[in-house]
Structure 1
Amino acid sequence: MLRDSDMIGYTGGGNIGNVYLDHEEPRRKVFSTFVNNKTISFPQSVNFEDTEQGQEELRKSQEAYNKNPNLTIVARETQSLDYFKKNFDANVIYTSDIVASLKPDPSEFKREGVLFIMRQDSEKVVNEKLLEQLSYKLNNVGDEVAQTDTVLPFKASDSNADTAPDLDEVRISERGWLIERKLEEIKASEAVVTDRLHGMIFCVLTKTPCLVFDNSYGKASASYYNWFEDLDYIKHTTENDPDKLAPMIEELKGYEHSNYHDFTHSYDELIDLIKK
């Protein structure tokens, strides 16, 4: 039974907007129903498209969110911070993505090859032909290129059934192990090429050189310039010439990545809010 004194913490991510309505519609329901509870939407990016449909969905979200006087929205980059403040009545605060708070195993792996972590969804803007040409260039200088993703095509389950060998189902108890496995995969790479925000953050955590392309609405580049620009082993690019990109990746490999930052201070306001 939910009491008025209970706090509601709502999952963060990059899905406030009209693109992922399977996330947005349940969020509206929660925010507009439990109006007497302190409600915190954990670090998010926002993207209501400038279309008739996008603006109609924005209106629906405004109506739902604004019913809750106890709602705080946490933005994870300044472009979302400004948007939330302009379009919603809720309290808005600013932190880095919650994944940056992870403390992975500091042990080192032997690093080999270049790992591509690229989107295959509606946020993808990098041309597939460019990636093929870049992979070819890297192969020519002796780099083995592999591909992976930070999104798994599995459903989460809290059942006690054994997980199938091909991991077509993920038990909640296995989520931590899967994250560690992904971090180890990244840590074993000499460099990463990604257009995923969490691909970049996983590289930050594992001190893995990373070349970052943007996604469709700029959350990857915004997060880079807000939080990670000072890290010498992370670099954002808008370059689309594989002849120029390949040397950039080779150069990134040479950085000693000694200036790792601790981002825990960025959560101070969020922690204080939870404790109140």
Structure 2
Amino acid sequence: MTTIYSMDSLKEKLAELLDVIPKHSSVVYLDYPLYGNVGDLLIMKGTEAFFKAYGIRVRERWNAENFNPGRKIPQEAIIVCQGGGNFGDLYPHFQQFRERVIEHYPNNRIVILPQSIYYENEQNIRRTRDILTAHPDLHLYTREKASFQFANKHFEGLNNIRMMPDMAHQLWPIEPPEKPSESVLRLIRTDKEANGSLQKAQEPDTYDWPVILSDRDKRGIRRLQTLNALNKKAGNPLPIAHYWERYSDMLVNKSIRFFSCYESVVTSRLHGHILSCLLQKENIVIDNSYGKNANYYNTWMKDIPDTKLIQEKTEEPPVLV
């Protein structure tokens, strides 16, 4: 029987993570995003909201740039890795970081929060499989059906594979802080996942996450990244995660206010779609270059009111009326 999901039920489903990250447990949260991709920041904020909702104690927070694999972590602490869409060889820096962590901590439970998986190279798939299956207590959460099927097919021997919505759903609902004053927001990818056959990115009213953030915002991010690198060289005496928590709150809140100013949204960003739904805005989601958006939409979002997927090229650009 096909399950019909609502925004309420998607948030409730995240509670199944308590099977492996119990209430009031102690965790080390790794790979939080120290950069300006607002979609990844929404995942981080949802993850932190999940920890808070269930009394989960975060002992330490580390990004991929300032954590040294081999650092002593108590055996009872659960290592929790950030979810998102960078599992595979499209973003090797983050994948290699995760794999080093898995290799260095065979005695800790490791939970990889909901990820979309994409590989281009068969040898990289085999390498990942060997690393994952060597760990005795590794739990991989995939973010949609296609990734779940991929993991079960290619990571044979890894028994703890489950499917879960994106962690940003823990933020549901978000009350719009502004009343709409504009009609349609076009939030269109300009990076390696852009789908040139479906999206139009050159119109003057088109935005992407880097456009929403001001030059001042970006300078602030770069300063914290520089401080993060210097802090690592000095042995990490400064609480970078705490500084970033406050600064990223500002970036996310700014993006929420920006979205709130529009009646509806057309986007090829997965979290442009998810944020629109969290704000209960009518939206159209355009698939990305390798099917991630369509896979997510068809797994979880197709029954959410006022949403539509564009997966195939059409004569006319998508419109909301």
Please give the TM-score of this superposition, normalised by the length of structure 2: 0.64
Report the counterpart of residue 228 of structure 1 in structure 2: 301
RMSD: 2.5
Mapped pair 1:60 → 2:127: yes
| Cα gap change, 1:93 to 1:197, in 2 (>3 Å) | same
State how far apart, in whole Å, the 2-side matches of 1:129 and 1:36 are. Answer: 46
- Secondary structure, in 3 states, of the residue corresponding to 1:119? coil
Contact 1:213 1:237 in 2 (8 A): yes
Matched, 1:176 2:249: yes
Q: Which residue does the alignment assign to 2:194?
A: 124
Match 1:106 to one of 167, 172, 175: 175
Question: Could you report, residue by residue, the CA deviation over 1:2-41 in whole angstroms, capped at 9, with x for unpaired residues?
Answer: 1221110011110111111011111110012201111000
Residue 106 of structure 1 aligns to a residue whose secondary structure is coil
SS of the equivalent of 2:80 reads strand
Contact 1:15 1:45 in 2 (8 A): yes
Partner of 2:14: none
Larger displacement relative to structure 2 (82-91 or 215-224): 82-91
- The percent of aligned pairs where both chains have the same amino acid is 27
Structure 1 pair 199–244 and aligned structure 2 pair: CA distance change class (3 A): closer
Give the superposition deviation at 1:97: 0.3
Residues 5, 214 of structure 1: alpha-carbon distance in 2 compared, 3 angstrom cutoff: same
Partner Cα distance (1:100, 1:74) in 2: 15
Aligned to 2:146: 79
Q: Give yes or no for contact 1:157–1:172 (8 Å, CA) kept in 2.
A: no
Q: Report the 3-state secondary structure (helix = DSSP H, G, I; strand = E; otherwise coil) of the residue aligned with 2:207.
A: strand
Structure 2 match to 1:269: none
Question: 1:74-104 CA deviation, whole Å, 9 max, x = no partner?
Answer: 1110111111122223311111000111135
The one-letter amino acid paired with 2:128 is S
Number of equivalenced pairs? 225
Q: Kindly state the Cα deviation for residue 115 of structure 1 after the two structures are TM-superposed.
A: 1.3
State how far apart, in whole Å, the 1-side matches of 2:274 and 2:199 are: 25
Are the counterparts in 2 of residues 104 and 180 from structure 1 also a CA contact under 8 Å? no
Q: In 2, are the aligned partners of 1:62 and 1:87 still within 8 Å (CA)?
A: yes
Question: Larger relative contact order (C-alpha < 8 A, sep ≥ 6)?
Answer: 2
Contact in 1 for aligned 2:189/2:208 (Cα 8 Å): no
Deviation of residue 129 (structure 1)? 7.8
Q: Which runs of 5+ in 1 are unaligned?
A: 137-144, 161-169, 251-276
Q: Find the aligned partners of 1:179 and 1:125 in 2 and give their Cα distance.
A: 25
- Counterpart check, 1:69 vs 2:136: yes
1:96 and 2:156 are equivalent in the alignment: no
Give the Cα separation in 1 of the matches to 2:141 and 2:210: 22
Q: For each residue in 1:215-242, what CA deviation from the matched residue of structure 2 results, as whole angstroms up to 9, or x when unmatched? A: 1221111111111111221110135446
How far does residue 113 in structure 1 lie from its aligned partner after superposition? 2.4
Q: Show the counterpart of 2:33.
A: none
Determine the C-alpha separation between the residues in 2 that align with 1:16 and 1:244: 31
Residue 198 (1) aligns with residue 271 (2): yes
Where does residue 40 of structure 2 map in the other structure? none
**CA distance 1:115–1:183, shift in 2 (3 Å):** same
Deviations 1:149-183 (A, max 9, x none): 279664554959xxxxxxxxx83421122112212
Relative to structure 1, is the Cα distance of residues 230 and 32 closer, same or farther in structure 2, using a 3 angstrom cutoff? Answer: same
Post-superposition offset of 1:195: 1.1
Unmatched tracts of structure 2, length 5 or more = 1-71, 229-242
Q: What one-letter code is carried by the residue in structure 2 that aligns with 1:13? A: G
State whether residues 11 and 41 of structure 1, in contact with CA within 8 Å, keep that contact through their aligned partners in structure 2: yes
Counting only pairs closer than 5 Å after superposition, residues 130-145 of structure 1 correspond to structure 2 as: 130-132=200-202, 135=203, 145=205
Alpha-carbon distance change, 124 to 61 in structure 1, aligned in 2, over 3 angstroms = same
**Could you tell me which amino acid in structure 1 is paired with residue 112 of structure 2?**
S
**For 2:318 and 2:186, how far apart are their aligned partners in 1?**
13
Distance 1:128 1:231, change over 3 A: closer
Distance 1:69 1:158, change over 3 A: farther
Corresponding residue for residue 254 of structure 1: none
Which of 197, 204, 207 is matched with 1:147 structurally?
A: 207
Check whether the contact 2:188–2:206 (CA below 8 A) recurs between aligned residues. Answer: no
2:94 corresponds to 1:34: no
In the superposition, the TM-score normalised over structure 1's length comes to 0.73
Structure 1 residue aligned with 2:280: 207
Is the contact between residue 8 and residue 37 of structure 1 (CA under 8 Å) also seen in structure 2?
yes
